[in-house]
Amino acid sequence: MRDDRGRQRVIIEGVRPAVDGGRFPIKRTIGDELIVEADVFADGHDALAVALRYRAESVPQWTEIPMEAIGNDRWRAAFPLSNIGQYRYTVTGWVDHFLTWRRDLIKKRDANQDLRLDLLIGAQLIEKAATQAPKEVEQALSRWVKELRATDAPEADRIRAALSAELAGIMAKHPDRAQASLYEVEFAVIVDREKARYSTWYEMFPRSCSTKPGVHGTFKDCEKRLPYIASMGFDVLYLPPIHPIGKTHRKGKNNAPTSRPEDHGSPWAIGSPDGGHTAIHPALGTLKDFRRLMERARTHDIEIAMDIAFQCSPDHPYVKEHREWFRIRPDGTVQYAENPPKKYQDIFPLEFETDQWRALWDELKQVVDYWIEQGIRIFRVDNPHTKPFPFWEWLIGEVKRTHPDVVFLAEAFTRPKVMNRLAKIGFSQSYNYFPWRTTKAELTQYFTELTQSDVREYLRPNLWPNTPDILTEQLQHGGRPVFMSRLVLAATLGASYGIYGPAYELGEHLPREAGSEEYADSEKYEIKRWDLDRPDSLQEFIGCVNRIRRDNPALQRDGSLRFHAIANEQLLCYSKRTADGSNVILVVVNLSPHHVHSGWLELDLASLGLDADQPFQVEDLLTHAHYLWQGERNYIEVNPHSAPAHIFRIRRRVRTEQDFDYFL
């Protein structure tokens, strides 16, 4: 305080957005505008000037734009995020003596006070600015100094000169910032490509893609599946691990502790004499085949997401070549995974507490780098919460420094604070509790938290109604209407969502045993053959919902989510809306699979940008039925046996000058 900071009268506090005071970056996507706010004030009543400073990480120079006072000492400005990568931002502010003087001069003039001394004070301020300004500005300012000091001129002329907008403009451009305050934190924002925010995932086991029964599918078979996936509107195809599978302690069908010779094992038991994390399972094809699949997928606007599961089968080359990366037991054997009393003898976890941790980190990064070289830009990370947080923070940071277009999805269905931390340290998207949030109260509470609290700044939820590990009780018992309603919920509550197919569209719902969330005859342990042409497939319905997502930008973001009241516990109603209000979607979902439900909506019209006294049009985008509504209260009925949800687009009425009405 006794150093020069003692002279910095301007206080800057409460800079937002920020995660943990700036310890972690916030997240945005390209083309967004980042709105920054801060509390800025000083002692006394002097006028302030406040500026937002920002720069792309790689550019040392700051760009500054003035912040505007929006009341209660809060200031705001926004800057464009034109490129992917990282930006920095912070806030600076200073007391503006000229602005203070000018403001007070006007008040005194309006009170008819004697201004002679004030004009001389103003001249002093301008003179001081002149000495610090570039040559040509100095000359201009000196002219004003003379005018303000021209005691022989009429006072009215001198006041007019003093208050001229041109002078104010020049003085604002050349302020005295010697005592400016600069906020001590440089905040970071990660700017991702759009897919990090808005993505539609399809998970599929490549080995089940053959059309011939019992035959191991290949990448070539996957290629043939692409039009089918594209027809449903998915843009990310996520494949479970494609690496060689270990034989030692291989699990049999339904996770049996021993396997028969014809069993194919779990793709997550990675590594065999054929190779480890950078090798490809020979039965699937070659690296060339895989690259061709990626290319073909791209022609359908589909990107391949790769699974990153940093764990090893006992046959993984690392086990022989790098015993120092495993935990060795007193009998000299390698410690397998366990969650006592459960044992997973087919899986050896990597030992991050090894003294050779730096070499281990480097090797794992090289795995990621290798697949990036092959063209992969999306990684779905298996169980990230069982590896140290500093490792992920380092890995993701390093990867994105050279490849800011890479997207990481964290597969961590674990404790809330662990999930949040993984998002903070860099994961682009996060699995979450959606599968188990089924009632109106649960969904409302959870998605309000995800989209309205600070969590929204760093965690992007990716909603999965099912995964190969999760067949929820609701899906087991609810029948087709629940498969439809859960899909609509995932697709409209989440800008990113995914399904594990074809299990999902074919309504696969039998558990291994009662009370289990495991599938009976799970695809994790065997090759399945799916009849994609079944008449009860949801293929068409899913395609329709994903088309609605694509056509309505309101559904491609989460921040605008608002729930609307309806006095029926089985009906959930919510809306999303683009920032400019040009696209507004209202969804009503019947959460009960068995009954028709109806009720009176009580819409929060302000959040929809609607006037209470103007009718508005609602179009059900699933059925193309149109209705004309007005005001908050509107009757709604949802029959789960036709469709368990309405997805309405809302259009305001606009009246032209010719008294012609249309809906926009």
Q: Which are the catalytic amino acids?
A: 382, 411
- Closest to a copy of itself by CB, 339 vs 656, is 339
Binding status of residue 11 toward a copy of itself by CB under 8 A:
yes
Residue 346 among known ligand-binding residues: yes
Binding status of residue 45 toward a copy of itself by CB under 8 A:
yes
Give me the torsion for CA of 547, 550, 554, 557, rounded to 10°. 120
Query: Distance (Å, rounded) from C-alpha 57 to C-alpha 204?
Result: 38
- Closest to a copy of itself by CB, 14 vs 273, is 14
User: Which residues does 39 contact at the CB level (< 8 Å), separation at least 6?
Assistant: 11, 12, 13, 14, 73, 74, 75
Residue 311 among known ligand-binding residues: yes
Q: List the one residue out of 464, 26, 523, 454 whose CA is nearest residue 251.
A: 523
Contact with a copy of itself (CB under 8 A) among 186, 194, 223, 393? 393
Say if residues 625 and 619 touch (Cβ distance below 8 Å). Answer: yes
Q: What is the DSSP string of 366-377?
A: HHHHHHHHTT--
Binding status of residue 363 toward a copy of itself by CB under 8 A:
no
Across the strands, what pairs with 312?
A: 348
Binding status of residue 117 toward a copy of itself by CB under 8 A:
yes
Binding status of residue 357 toward a copy of itself by CB under 8 A:
yes
Contact with a copy of itself (CB under 8 A) among 143, 160, 298, 415? 415
Q: How many residues bind a copy of itself (CB under 8 A)?
A: 59
Within 10 Å of residue 434's Cβ, how many Cβ atoms? Answer: 25
Query: Distance (Å, rounded) from C-alpha 376 to C-alpha 374?
Result: 6
Residue 8 among known ligand-binding residues: no
Binding status of residue 111 toward a copy of itself by CB under 8 A:
yes
- Closest to a copy of itself by CB, 423 vs 554, is 423
- Min CB(603)–a copy of itself separation in Å: 26
Binding status of residue 41 toward a copy of itself by CB under 8 A:
yes
- Lookup result for tokens 């000229």: 98
Binding status of residue 388 toward a copy of itself by CB under 8 A:
yes
Binding status of residue 390 toward a copy of itself by CB under 8 A:
yes
Amino acid identity at 79: F
| Six-digit token string for 245 | 């599978």
Query: Distance (Å, rounded) from C-alpha 177 to C-alpha 264?
Result: 70
- Min CB(176)–a copy of itself separation in Å: 11
- Closest to a copy of itself by CB, 357 vs 436, is 357
Binding status of residue 110 toward a copy of itself by CB under 8 A:
yes
Binding status of residue 21 toward a copy of itself by CB under 8 A:
yes
Binding mask 155-194 for a copy of itself (x = CB under 8 A): ------------------------x---------------
Round the CA-based radius of gyration of the chain to a whole number and report it.
Answer: 31
Answer left, alpha or beta for residue 249, where phi above 0 means left and psi between -120 and 50 means alpha.
left
Binding status of residue 6 toward a copy of itself by CB under 8 A:
yes
- Min CB(387)–a copy of itself separation in Å: 6
Contact with a copy of itself (CB under 8 A) among 131, 258, 299, 339? 339
The one segment of 2-10, 221-229, 313-321, 612-620 that binds a copy of itself by CB under 8 A: 2-10
483-503 burial by CB neighbour count: b if 16+ within 10 A, else e? Answer: bbbbbbbbbbbbbbbbbbbbb
Binding status of residue 394 toward a copy of itself by CB under 8 A:
yes
- Closest to a copy of itself by CB, 44 vs 214, is 44
- From residue 339, give the alpha-carbon distance in Å to each of 215, 271, 561: 34, 22, 39
Residue 365 among known ligand-binding residues: no
Say if residues 159 and 105 touch (Cβ distance below 8 Å). Answer: yes
Residue 469 among known ligand-binding residues: no
Residue 247 among known ligand-binding residues: no
| Six-digit token string for 373 | 């070289």
Say if residues 238 and 201 touch (Cβ distance below 8 Å). Answer: yes
Across the strands, what pairs with 343?
A: 338
Query: Distance (Å, rounded) from C-alpha 337 to C-alpha 354?
Result: 16
Amino acid identity at 429: Q
The one segment of 43-51, 167-175, 520-528, 552-560 that binds a copy of itself by CB under 8 A: 43-51
- Lookup result for tokens 């609307």: 564
- Min CB(1)–a copy of itself separation in Å: 4
Binding status of residue 323 toward a copy of itself by CB under 8 A:
no
Q: Is the dihedral of CA 522, 468, 226, 246 positive or negative?
A: negative
Binding status of residue 260 toward a copy of itself by CB under 8 A:
no
User: Which residues does 70 contact at the CB level (< 8 Å), separation at least 6?
Assistant: 37, 76
Residues annotated in a binding site: 251, 311, 346, 383, 524-525
Residues making up the annotated binding site for alpha-maltose 1-phosphate are: 251, 311, 346, 383, 524-525
Contact positions toward a copy of itself, by CB under 8 A? 1-2, 5-9, 11, 13-14, 20-21, 39, 41-45, 72-73, 104, 107-108, 110-111, 113, 117, 120-121, 123-124, 179, 329-331, 338-341, 352-353, 357-358, 361, 385-391, 393-394, 397, 415-418, 421
